[in-house]
Structure 1
């Protein structure tokens, strides 16, 4: 068997250099008064005046991990994110977190409450708790309480999507994306708190959305649903490049779900159902078959229609990031050589097209010819996917990243 790249000193050294380059780039996003701004392609805070909860939470998660890695300055940056999550982004009147506030933090820029944002608040708080950052543990307790009270529906075992500010009106839409990120957040919360109910709920979400609904749709992941969890396959047909709710099936989410299924398998140990790894392998294989190199150029297309034809052909940086993390996890879990081959091919692509050595970080979006573009995403909003791509292949599939680093970080 070919030696795994993750075991080779040269590859590990390259990953570490890239980790340092990424964390240095993201420092410019830190805002006075707490939180993180949206960076443009050159690493400057963009003209967008809003402070977004999803960006702040994801960056807090990243710098909590970086602190556990021993990177100087990372801990205070995680604290800067926590300051916003306990301050300007938190709705002190009605509870929960705004999607965004204005730059001054004086008023919410978007007053709705979304499961997507709250999933990342839980993830950030869990990672910061494990990293020992001040105020993180109470934040995690509060965030889990909000999710428990308002989002998680025990009748379905899934999360609703969103509310207005005072929680009086629940959106009719249901989404797979927010539930996927809650799986990630719940696994991190289970490790941070020791409460296995969150792991059980993560398994329940995956079982219904992947093992039942996606399997019944020919393994083409539906993203959008009615309030009764019936797939709406034509949703946003007139907005196919929507950044959060695009039409069709999002190939990168097949890969992200596959990675999380492997994580669930590892978290559950002997109690894990066999379908977790089987479904992960199936999703990984289909993503390569239908999403990779399918339109005359290297890379993954963003979305497919229900006949597996590319719809939005731009290449998003997070898709190969998720693919290579999944390949590493499946190689470790199964020992199969093909996952090592995929891992190397994906890193070659990332290094050639996505790593921006001139201006820093990674290009967040490429045109179909693999040149930088900004059709769906402008600039370089956060480090979440790229940073995890250089770190997670070095870690076991479980426990979650922060807990694994706290236990074994010195061994990396």
Structure 2
């Protein structure tokens, strides 16, 4: 449970970065320590669930990634106290496992003995199985005014006689003499037990939480709906524990602190950080921001906490007064209540910058350094602009023809017609076989290196021809060439309307996706009715075979009967392809008025959205069918597909949904900018820990980049307010 307003440990802890995400007792954050403490308990079939505010999703994602831990995440639209958070978690757990036992663990506590804590949770489970709600009561080491107290009926696991609010020092001392325990704020209960007690004792909390929990069973990250805001803002102690007859307490004696103030951080003994020099000083806690040196002479018992915009100097004995100080800052210096952040780039300025980058950088670079004198496009350019010398695939030639033909259609004044003409001549001379199909690979001299007619390559040759035709390029044979290739393909069609691909995965969705894209391009360009017929067959195959009927997501690989492939191949879900199919099915559904296709597109968009990480917000490469992460690497191309799908869906969405989709589009464009370099090149693979794989820029990515811009330009008039002139490349 990751709540917290970030006030008592100001200025290091603030609303956008509360204390659980700080490294206060070592190299890892309190949240990471908590995850490490409990994750062994779920390694034999349990689940780790994080409940937190939506504003903190970035910290959670980043810090879980650093640990290499996967968790289900429930995000609150706004905090409503521990009762509502626990109710939402219990309802989610009960949906996953009606017999599930939950340990509700605070994410910001300091418990050095991880094994002892786990042993206590396991012991408390016995009480939870008997229908009790068990809290951990810590044997006090001193009369603290910072903690609430519990009066147990006996030793070990026992009933609770009373809960007591934070007392003054004399009262705390008496409580310790009378055997009271510190209230640790950790609870263990069966999900069904807690839900039943909520229904009886805090029904408004339970109703709001139930209404807010999404029903999607496969999502590993879910945001509670606005219904959550109807829950009263109340703690679990007030809502349930002080009223229920099921409360029990387990006495524990391991070291524990909730690190509620700077004196507690000092007492933990590991809170100092940053550069500092002390002379003739003692018993001080020093935390210096990066690049700042703290020097002190002749002082003692002080906390000196330095951040970039604020400094706290506090007598450690007055550490509890920091919270009232923060209340004073609300009127006197509100800008220092949280860390300053620059607003993210909006869609309109990002789109104009995108157009400039294509017009001034990428298109000139890839039409000069990226195309040889004989018309062939190179496969990749090193990041210093050098050809890598690889053989030339048909798909890359076709994709680059698409790029420059589309650039010409969108107003680019560069020599796109010459570029397209020379490349088309090489397609016709060196790639097209006698049967009208395209071979896969040739050398720089035009010699055939792989004569295989892959479906994937045929799709892109068809797309290139359609785009050149739509751009008004004067070549009367374009449509004849495309129809001949299509008819050659149709001679190989399978009984269900699909096609077998060459290679290790003959029955796959991806090649069909690009063939559908080519059919829709020819349909839009005024091609014969055969393109619409083939598009109808491909969409039917996608709706009936590729998309899981019980999950709304699209699989990648299949058996010969088009049921899911065996093993890991059959459970692979690529978020980028969910978005790409969503974009295509929306185009198709809007053109045909096909409600089934439009519903499928919406479901696929939601499935793709599960693959968007939080820090940074980018689309990762692969999930499993159950929604868990398979690969946290993130290639460039899924970012463009997210952009395209968000834009086209936004065009016909209701206002509230449209606003969400447009923000998604702006986020997707910002994600794409992470990959692009100022000189018109790009990185391809973002690593889970940050940074990119050091490798040349693949030419094939320019197809995705241009397709993203193509959809942005098409959606611009309807979606971008105050966007000014139409978005173009002139």
Question: Which of 379, 404, 408 in structure 2 is aligned with 1:63?
Answer: 404
Question: In the alignment, is residue 19 of structure 1 matched against residue 358 of structure 2?
Answer: yes
Question: In the alignment, is residue 304 of structure 1 matched against residue 644 of structure 2?
Answer: no
Q: TM-score, normalised by structure 2?
A: 0.47
Residue 139 of structure 1 and its aligned partner are, at CA, apart by 3.6
Return closer, same or farther for 1:156/1:148 CA change in 2, 3 Å cut-off.
farther
Q: Give 3-state SS (helix, strand or coil) of 1:304's partner.
A: strand
**Is this contact kept in 2: 1:37–1:52, CA < 8 A?**
no
Q: Which residue of 2 aligns with 1:284?
A: 605
Counterparts of 2:637 and 2:457, CA distance in 1: 18
Structure 1 segments unaligned to the other structure (5+ residues): 164-170, 238-246, 398-407
Question: In the alignment, is residue 324 of structure 1 matched against residue 663 of structure 2?
Answer: no
Question: In the alignment, is residue 363 of structure 1 matched against residue 705 of structure 2?
Answer: no
Q: CA RMSD in A?
A: 2.8
Question: In the alignment, is residue 32 of structure 1 matched against residue 352 of structure 2?
Answer: no
Counterparts of 2:505 and 2:683, CA distance in 1: 35
Residue 154 of structure 1 and its aligned partner are, at CA, apart by 6.5
Give per-residue Cα distances to partners, 1:138-179, cap 9 Å, x unaligned.
24422332232235626322233239xxxxxxx982221000
Counterparts of 1:29 and 1:315, CA distance in 2: 24
Q: Which residue of 1 aligns with 2:429?
A: 87
Return closer, same or farther for 1:285/1:235 CA change in 2, 3 Å cut-off.
closer
Q: Which residue of 2 aligns with 1:347?
A: 669
Question: Which of 698, 712, 716 in structure 2 is aligned with 1:393?
Answer: 712
Residue 64 of structure 1 and its aligned partner are, at CA, apart by 0.4
Residue 117 of structure 1 and its aligned partner are, at CA, apart by 0.2
Residue 311 of structure 1 and its aligned partner are, at CA, apart by 2.0
Counterparts of 1:410 and 1:320, CA distance in 2: 21
Q: Which residue of 1 aligns with 2:460?
A: 120
Q: Give 3-state SS (helix, strand or coil) of 1:56's partner.
A: helix
Counterparts of 2:589 and 2:569, CA distance in 1: 33
Residue 389 of structure 1 and its aligned partner are, at CA, apart by 1.5
Match runs of 1:10-409 below 5 Å: 10-20=349-359, 21-27=361-367, 28-42=369-383, 44-71=385-412, 72-91=414-433, 93-105=434-446, 107-135=447-475, 137-151=476-490, 153=493, 155-162=495-502, 173-210=506-543, 212-216=545-549, 218-234=551-567, 248-268=572-592, 272-289=593-610, 291-293=611-613, 297-335=616-654, 336=657, 337-351=659-673, 353-357=674-678, 359-373=679-693, 378-382=696-700, 383-395=702-714
**Is this contact kept in 1: 2:405–2:420, CA < 8 A?**
yes
- Moved runs in structure 1, 4+ residues, more than 6 A? 408-412
**Is this contact kept in 2: 1:297–1:369, CA < 8 A?**
no
Return closer, same or farther for 1:410/1:62 CA change in 2, 3 Å cut-off.
closer
Q: Which residue of 1 aligns with 2:62?
A: none
Structure number with larger C-alpha Rg:
2
Residue 133 of structure 1 and its aligned partner are, at CA, apart by 2.3
**Is this contact kept in 1: 2:675–2:682, CA < 8 A?**
yes
Q: Which residue of 2 aligns with 1:402?
A: none
**Is this contact kept in 2: 1:254–1:287, CA < 8 A?**
yes
Residue 68 of structure 1 and its aligned partner are, at CA, apart by 1.6
Higher relative contact order by CA 8 Å / sep ≥ 6: 1 or 2?
1
Counterparts of 2:530 and 2:432, CA distance in 1: 25
Return closer, same or farther for 1:410/1:173 CA change in 2, 3 Å cut-off.
closer
Give per-residue Cα distances to partners, 1:289-341, cap 9 Å, x unaligned.
2x1117x6532221122322222221111101110111111111214221012
Bigger proportion of residues as helix: 1
Deviation larger for 56-65 or 195-204: 195-204
Counterparts of 2:663 and 2:696, CA distance in 1: 32
Count of equivalent residues = 369
Q: Give 3-state SS (helix, strand or coil) of 1:395's partner.
A: helix
**Is this contact kept in 1: 2:436–2:488, CA < 8 A?**
no
**Is this contact kept in 1: 2:440–2:450, CA < 8 A?**
yes
**Is this contact kept in 2: 1:258–1:283, CA < 8 A?**
yes
Q: TM-score, normalised by structure 1?
A: 0.81
Deviation larger for 72-81 or 176-185: 72-81
Bigger proportion of residues as strand: 2
**Is this contact kept in 2: 1:262–1:277, CA < 8 A?**
yes
Structure 2 segments unaligned to the other structure (5+ residues): 1-345, 717-725
Q: Give 3-state SS (helix, strand or coil) of 1:311's partner.
A: strand
Return closer, same or farther for 1:47/1:409 CA change in 2, 3 Å cut-off.
closer
Counterparts of 1:49 and 1:345, CA distance in 2: 34
Q: Give 3-state SS (helix, strand or coil) of 1:185's partner.
A: helix
Q: Give 3-state SS (helix, strand or coil) of 1:15's partner.
A: helix
Counterparts of 2:729 and 2:632, CA distance in 1: 40
**Is this contact kept in 2: 1:176–1:223, CA < 8 A?**
yes
Q: Give 3-state SS (helix, strand or coil) of 1:175's partner.
A: coil
